[in-house]
Amino acid sequence: MITREAPQPQVHAVLEAPVTNPGYRPPPVPVKPWSERYPQVLYGTLVMAIVVMGYVTIRFLLKVKNAAG
């Protein structure tokens, strides 16, 4: 059985002029994280880590080659 909803009465709304809030203080400007202010430190650290890992890997491979041969 199909039921019908009763028609809803229409509501009329009127907007008033905006009112300013005298106690409003805008939020402070966000401060960038340290890693975003100094990206050269992050990239420099990554480069150094890659160089050190490459050096350790090459030394290990040379040691394995000499032990096997």
Give residue-wise pLDDT tens across range 19-53. 999 999 999 999 999 989 999 999 999 999 999 99
The whole-model pTM stands at 0.53
Could you tell me what percentage of the chain is helix, strand and coil, using 3-state DSSP and rounding each to the nearest 5?
50, 0, 50
The DSSP output letter for 22 is T
* pLDDT bucket at 69, cuts 50 / 70 / 90: low
